[in-house]
């Protein structure tokens, strides 16, 4: 009995040490991750530990600059980026989950071939795939529509493979059989049973899809020719390049 008590005490101590290490590492990683955002916030507000009153001087100027920023064409680019990022993320997640569900839950001919084909698509570089897509967009004169950035994200190979692996590990086939016995249609089973089970995978892929779509510069820069269709990253790059050109011209004129 005494030995069992000592063993339990040792286990509790080890668990406590492990928890302390895990919490310490997690807090450190969180602080490292949040540090750039803290710098951004302090720079915007002008907050300083040595002089907190500096905020009252800097914050009105920053607010004026922010309002001025959104009064220009940047607000149009911001709206375009929101439309593209949100729409492409929703379509990507839904149809990737639907494709993964079809591969995992149903038995049909060429299922393995189709699954291996999706794996093979992951090995194709994005630049190689976008070459033909750019030619197709210009051929059908679709350079004035945001849909050229939204529709290609319907089902990406990476999202399909990730969700398929998640379903294979977590989704019980007996649930589908029970739902069919109760008279549920296949789309109802997918929307009301499969999707809720896939919430962790959906959240993960939604994060990656949204950030990737929001930060994309190459395709919007090449495909969107109209000024009011450009996304925010493209507009910021064009503004920065224009600023550099203006500065270089002034510097050259000053040397003359």
Q: In angstroms, rounded to a whole number, what is the distance separating the alpha carbons of residues 220 and 81?
A: 10
Residue 46 lies in a domain: yes
CA 236 to chain centre: 20
Q: What is the reported pLDDT for 1?
A: 47
Q: Are residues 106 and 125 in the same domain?
A: yes
Q: Count of domains in the chain?
A: 2
Of the residues 69, 95, 119, which one is the last residue of a structural domain? 69
pLDDT value at 53 more than 60: yes
Q: Which domain holds residue 87?
A: 74-244
Q: Is the domain of 24 the same as that of 90?
A: no
Task: Say whether both 132 and 59 belong to one domain.
Answer: no
Which tokens go with 161? 């493979």
User: Given this model, what pLDDT does residue 156 score?
Assistant: 83
Q: Cβ neighbours of residue 226 under 8 Å, at least 6 residues apart? A: 143, 144
Tokens 């005490």 belong to which residue? 9
Are the C-beta atoms of residues 223 and 148 closer than 8 Å to each other? yes
Tell me which of 53 and 40 has the higher pLDDT: 40
pLDDT of residue 143: 80
Give the pLDDT score at 175: 83
How far lies 129's CA from each of 84, 146, 153, in Å?
A: 20, 19, 13
Chain segment 8-36, per-residue pLDDT in tens:
777 777 788 888 999 999 999 988 888 88
Domain boundary among 26, 41, 69: 69
Are 158 and 238 part of one and the same domain?
yes
> If DSSP codes are grouped into helix, strand and coil, which group holds residue 129?
helix
Answer yes or no: is pLDDT of 249 > 80: no
**What is the distance between the alpha carbons of residues 133 and 149, in angstroms, rounded to a whole number?**
11
| Average pLDDT across the chain, whole number | 81
What confidence score (pLDDT) does residue 84 get? 93
Q: Which of 24, 46, 69 marks a domain boundary?
A: 69
Whether 179 and 221 share a structural domain: yes
**What is the pLDDT, as a whole number, of residue 14?**
78
The structure's pTM equals: 0.74
**In this structure, are 139 and 191 located in the same domain?**
yes
What size, in residues, is the chain? 256
Give me the mean pLDDT over the 57-75 stretch. Answer: 73
pLDDT at residue 90 above 90?
yes
Q: Is the torsion defined by CA of 176, 180, 182, 184 positive or negative?
A: positive
Q: Label residue 89 by pLDDT band (50, 70, 90).
A: very high
- Angstrom distance (rounded) from CA 229 to CA 145: 7
Taking the CA atoms of 89, 124, 167 and 207 in sequence, report the sign of the dihedral they define. negative
Three-class DSSP labels, 150-202:
HHHHCCCHHHHHHHHHHHHHHCCHHHHHHHHHCCCCHHHHHHHHHHHHCHHHH
Q: Which residue has the higher pLDDT, 65 or 121?
A: 121
Q: Lowest mean pLDDT: which of 32-36, 43-47, 133-137, 228-232?
A: 43-47
User: 145-172 pLDDT, tens per residue?
Assistant: 888 888 888 878 888 888 888 888 887 8
Structure tokens that stand for 120 in this block: 């093979």
Sequence-ordered list of residues with C-beta below 8 angstroms from that of 2, at least 6 positions apart, any chain: none
Residues 27 and 115 in one domain: no
- 207 and 105 within one domain: yes
pLDDT bracket for residue 91 (50, 70, 90): very high
Determine phi and psi for 178, rounding to 5 degrees: -65, -40
CB-based burial, 23-45: b 16+ in 10 Å, e otherwise: eeeeeeeeeeeeeeeeeeeeeee
């Amino acid at each position: 009995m005494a030995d069992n008590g000592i063993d339990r005490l040792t286990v509790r101590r080890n668990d406590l040490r492990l928890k302390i290490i895990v919490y310490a590492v997690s807090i450190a990683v969180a602080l490292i991750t949040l540090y750039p955002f803290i710098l951004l916030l302090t720079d915007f507000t002008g907050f300083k530990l040595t002089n907190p009153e500096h905020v009252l001087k800097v914050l009105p100027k920053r607010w004026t600059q922010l309002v001025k920023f959104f009064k220009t064409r940047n607000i149009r680019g911001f709206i375009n980026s929101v439309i593209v990022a949100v729409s492409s993320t929703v379509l990507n997640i839904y149809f990737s989950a639907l494709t993964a569900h079809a591969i995992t839950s149903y038995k049909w001919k060429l299922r393995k071939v189709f699954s291996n084909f999706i794996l093979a698509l992951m090995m194709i570089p994005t630049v190689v795939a976008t070459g033909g897509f750019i030619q197709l967009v210009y051929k059908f004169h679709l350079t004035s529509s945001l849909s050229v950035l939204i529709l290609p994200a319907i089902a990406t190979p990476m999202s399909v493979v990730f969700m398929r692996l998640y379903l294979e590990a977590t989704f019980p086939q007996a649930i589908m059989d029970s739902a069919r016995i109760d008279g549920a249609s296949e789309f109802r089973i997918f929307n009301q049973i499969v999707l809720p089970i896939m919430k962790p995978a959906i959240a993960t892929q939604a994060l990656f899809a949204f950030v990737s779509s929001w930060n994309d510069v190459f395709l919007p820069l090449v495909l969107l020719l109209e000024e009011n269709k450009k996304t925010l990253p493209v507009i910021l790059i064009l503004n920065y390049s224009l600023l550099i050109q203006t500065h270089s011209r002034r510097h050259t004129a000053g040397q003359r």
